[in-house]
A and B are shown apart, each in its own frame.
Chain A
Amino acid sequence: DGGITQSPKYLFRKEGQNVTLSCEQNLNHDAMYWYRQDPGQGLRLIYYSQIVNDFQKGDIAEGYSVSREKKESFPLTVTSAQKNPTAFYLCATRPRANRNTEAFFGQGTRLTVV
Chain B
Amino acid sequence: DAKTTQPNSMESNEEEPVHLPCNHSTISGTDYIHWYRQLPSQGPEYVIHGLTSNVNNRMASLAIAEDRKSSTLILHRATLRDAAVYYCILRDVGGSQGNLIFGKGTKLSVKP
Once A105-B43, A108-B41 are accepted as A-B contacts, the answer to whether A98 and B34 lie under 8 Å apart by CB is no
Contact B98 A42 (CB under 8 A): no
- 8 smallest CB-CB distances across A and B, nearest first, come from A105-B43, A99-B91, A42-B102, A97-B98, A43-B102, A102-B46, A99-B98, A42-B104
Once A42-B87, A92-B43, A105-B43 are accepted as A-B contacts, the answer to whether A97 and B97 lie under 8 Å apart by CB is yes
The residues of B that contact A42 with a CB separation of less than 8 Å are 2, 87, 102-105
Contact A105 B98 (CB under 8 A): no
Interface size class of B (residues with CB under 8 A): 20 to 34
Contact B32 A107 (CB under 8 A): no
Q: What's the count of A-B pairs with C-beta under 8 Å?
A: 63
A102: nearest residue on chain B (CB-CB)? Answer: B46
- Contact partner, A45, options B31, B45, B101, B103, Cβ 8 Å: B101
Contact A48 B99 (CB under 8 A): yes
Once A105-B44, A108-B41, A108-B42 are accepted as A-B contacts, the answer to whether A33 and B87 lie under 8 Å apart by CB is no
CB distance from B4 to the nearest CB of A (A): 10
The residues of A that contact B92 with a CB separation of less than 8 Å are 99
Once A42-B2, A100-B49 are accepted as A-B contacts, the answer to whether A106 and B43 lie under 8 Å apart by CB is yes
Identify whether the interface residues of B are mostly helix, strand, loop, or mixed. loop
Once A41-B104, A56-B96 are accepted as A-B contacts, the answer to whether A105 and B45 lie under 8 Å apart by CB is yes
* Residues of B in contact with A (beta carbons under 8 Å apart): 2, 31-32, 34, 36, 41-46, 49, 87, 91-92, 96-105
Instruction: Compute how far the CA of A32 lies from the CA of B41 in the bound complex, rounded to whole angstroms.
Output: 20
A88: nearest residue on chain B (CB-CB)? Answer: B41
Once A99-B32, A107-B42 are accepted as A-B contacts, the answer to whether A45 and B99 lie under 8 Å apart by CB is yes
Instruction: Compute how far the CA of A31 lies from the CA of B44 in the bound complex, rounded to whole angstroms.
Output: 17
Q: List 11 A-B pairs, Cβ < 8 Å.
A: A40-B104, A42-B87, A42-B104, A44-B102, A58-B96, A59-B96, A97-B97, A97-B98, A99-B91, A105-B43, A107-B42
